[in-house]
Amino acid sequence: MVVLGGANIDVVASADPLRPGISNRGIVRIGAGGAGRNVAVNFARLGVRTAFIGTVGDDPLSDRVVASTAQAGVDISGVRRMTGSKNIYVAMIAAGVVQWAVADMTAAESLTPGTIRAQASVIRAADAVVIDANLAPQAIDTACDLAAGRVLCLLPVSPAKASRMAPHLEEASCVVLGAAELQVLAGSAIHDPSDAVPAAGTLRRAPGLTTVVTMGARGLVWVGREVFHLPVPPVSVLNPSGAGDAVAAAAIFGILAGLPEEMAAHLALAAGVMTVTVDDSTHPDLSLKTLYAHAQLAIDR
């Protein structure tokens, strides 16, 4: 497995209530994050041999991001450092929901097509390639070209960047995205899970595409050969950042393992639910064993 995308410093502030225009009493956490990086870490914890390719800053906080990624078992030999720039994601959370967020992914967007081509042998040796939209469009084009013939999974990551993935939907085997990103790519409003199903269907420009839509408290919509809407079980949300990345990793894992789609969907939802219960952007105890246990618990309810 090869993942190309963002690895960043997460600055997550939680306050409840969160009032504008004043200094709110709350909790601030600084840790490692980034869509691609989180997916890679989750893959490694599921026992998948994983390499991450991306560009990060050359500063102490970015050192922590890279070190934690390596400690999770991810091959970071494809990580490049950039002096004078970094990737930072700042989020403000209230009532278990991200109310405001700002992402400065300058370092990630500096990953060049030439640097990606230098990793061509690594990409071509992979069974599957995951690309997130934190990369610049030209870098995404190059990565998709090198991934030809492999299972290709796309992560649009945000409404502002989702359109970067539009030219590559025909090549994709899997797309994992939020309702806001789906609205951009499908060009239709997404108010509830029933809206997500036909919208996801419009992305299927080639047979075999599986689209997984994360809808926060409204659950998960899976549109593949089969269609499922799975509601979210009762859960106390500590930090929603990274939940969608956990969903992506587990969904892709299930697809690659050839699992029945309903089980793959339950594993994906379980991964997201596990992740929101911890401070970090990934759950340190995520494993295939714990994932199956959480998924089975939800099925038995």
- How high is the pLDDT of residue 299? 64
Predicted confidence (pLDDT) per residue in 170-201, tens digit: 999 999 999 999 999 999 999 999 999 999 99
Q: What is the pLDDT of residue 206?
A: 67
Nearest residue to 260 via CA among 286, 287, 299 = 299
| Residue segments in the chain with a per-residue pLDDT below the cut of 50 | none
pLDDT score for 297: 67
Domain count, the chain: 1
What is the predicted pLDDT for the residue at 204?
A: 81
Q: Say which CATH number the domain at 10 has.
A: 3.40.1190.20
Question: What's residue 246's pLDDT?
Answer: 98
Q: pTM here?
A: 0.96
What's residue 73's pLDDT? 98
For residue 18, what pLDDT is reported? Answer: 94
| Structure-derived torsion over alpha carbons of residues 138, 11, 211, 292, reported in degrees to the nearest 10 | 130
User: What range defines the domain where residue 38 resides?
Assistant: 2-300
